[in-house]
């Protein structure tokens, strides 16, 4: 039976610019590279990942009444995502992200949240009434929606998984209920703990700092090219990532946490889930784009088998 995951999170249209250099203040830089509009948003990227990797995804978000929303909704339907809980806002535009991708594949993102900030509690309550295996969220939507969804899901016994992107130090972590998993990346870990997770010792210290503010069965720090550090409340272990040529890191974290969540729900083994998620993350950085870069189950499984043989 497929695992059914409710994603309460963001949808954006991404304007991606492949650049050589970031202008300094007051400077104009002419680029001869390419730019494109592609579907993105941390929530949508994760929803696409869950669906492509073999899960059943119900995506709850808010978009505007504009052409960007029409294009995004079309894609979600094509991906087999349940869009019954996606509402359209009269006054706010669909979220927009401007993404600068440097030659190394590293990115810088600015998000205009738009309708993502207007998700309503009533829609969340309706969605939590269906039978679910998990609730999955990120921090790219309004705080009250996140706290409401997490606490209501917890009361109903639905396991809650949170990817802590994007870094938002003002998020009141203490108000979250006990989680199944909390997954920040390096920047988010630094933001929430003041500790930069530069090595395993620093990761462990950061996890203990986080433990003071949040109860999570597993804390998983995403370390980019270095892999992921999994903390079980007592001790931690590093799962190194797999070597691959990175062309664009956009959505890799979203694909990783979504794959980790789905695989963990399926096999109940955090180590296996983490190895699988590292494969999904690696394949995502090897391609350009956000949602479009996310691999299917068969691609991820083939990569997993190749590196583990
Ligand atoms: O994590 C990548 C995503 O962050 C992009 O798709 C962009 O929309 C921002 O939400």
Domains and CATH numbers, the chain: 4-21+32-299 (3.40.1190.20)
pLDDT digit string (tens) for 147-160?
999 999 999 999 99
Atom of ligand 1 nearest to the CA of 253: 1
167 C-alpha vs ligand 1 centroid, how far in Å?
Answer: 12
pLDDT digit string (tens) for 25-69?
999 999 888 899 999 999 999 999 999 999 999 999 999 999 999
Tell me which residues have their CB closer than 6 angstroms to ligand 1.
Answer: 10, 12, 14, 40-42, 45, 97, 109, 111, 140, 250-251, 253-254, 290
Whose C-alpha lies nearest to ligand 1, atom 7?
Answer: 41
Whether 242 contacts 222, CB under 8 Å = no
φ and ψ of 28, to 5 deg:
-110, 130
**Concatenated DSSP letters of 156-170:** TT--EEEE-PSP-TT
162 C-alpha vs ligand 1 centroid, how far in Å?
Answer: 16
Whether 158 contacts 128, CB under 8 Å = yes
Percent of the chain whose predicted confidence (pLDDT) is above 70: 100
24 C-alpha vs ligand 1 centroid, how far in Å?
Answer: 23
Whether 66 is catalytic: no
* Residue from 94, 107, 250, 284 to probe ligand 1 pocket by mutation (most atoms less than 8 Å from CB): 250
Q: What is the pTM of this model?
A: 0.96
Q: Which of 82, 89, 163, 254 is catalytic?
A: 254
Is the Cα torsion angle 79, 181, 131, 262 positive or negative in sign? Answer: positive
Whose C-alpha lies nearest to ligand 1, atom 9?
Answer: 41
pLDDT digit string (tens) for 207-239?
999 999 999 999 999 999 999 999 999 999 999
pLDDT at site 169: 87
45 C-alpha vs ligand 1 centroid, how far in Å?
Answer: 8
Whether 277 contacts 263, CB under 8 Å = yes
Q: Look at strands 35-40 and 12-18 and give their pairing.
A: antiparallel
């Amino acid at each position: 039976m497929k695992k059914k995951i409710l994603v309460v999170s963001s949808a954006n249209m991404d304007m991606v610019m492949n650049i050589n250099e970031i202008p300094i203040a007051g400077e104009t830089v002419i680029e001869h590279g390419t730019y494109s509009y592609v579907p993105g948003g941390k929530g949508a990227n994760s929803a696409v990942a869950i669906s492509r990797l073999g899960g059943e995804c119900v995506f709850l978000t808010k978009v505007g009444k504009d052409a960007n929303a029409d294009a995004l909704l079309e894609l979600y339907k094509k991906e087999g995502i349940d869009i019954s809980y996606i509402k359209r806002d009269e006054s706010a535009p669909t979220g927009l992200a401007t993404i600068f991708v440097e030659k190394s594949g590293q990115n810088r993102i600015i998000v205009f949240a738009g309708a993502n900030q207007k998700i309503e509690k009533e829609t969340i309550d309706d969605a939590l009434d269906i039978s679910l295996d998990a609730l999955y969220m990120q921090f790219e939507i309004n705080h009250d929606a996140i706290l409401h969804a997490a606490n209501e899901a917890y009361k109903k016994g639905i396991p809650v998984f949170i990817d802590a992107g994007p870094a938002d130090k003002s998020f009141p972590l203490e108000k979250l209920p006990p989680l199944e998993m909390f997954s920040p990346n390096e920047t988010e870990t630094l933001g929430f703990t003041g500790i930069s997770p530069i090595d395993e010792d620093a990761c462990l210290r950061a996890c203990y700092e986080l433990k003071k503010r949040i109860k999570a069965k597993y804390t998983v720090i995403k370390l980019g090219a270095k892999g992921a550090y999994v903390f079980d409340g007592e001790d931690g272990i590093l799962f190194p990532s797999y070597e691959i040529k990175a062309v664009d890191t956009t959505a890799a974290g979203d694909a990783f946490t979504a794959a980790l969540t789905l695989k963990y729900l399926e096999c109940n083994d955090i180590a296996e889930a983490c190895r699988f998620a590292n494969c999904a993350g690696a394949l995502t950085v090897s391609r350009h784009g956000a949602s479009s870069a996310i691999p299917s189950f068969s691609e991820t499984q083939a990569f997993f088998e190749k590196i583990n043989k």
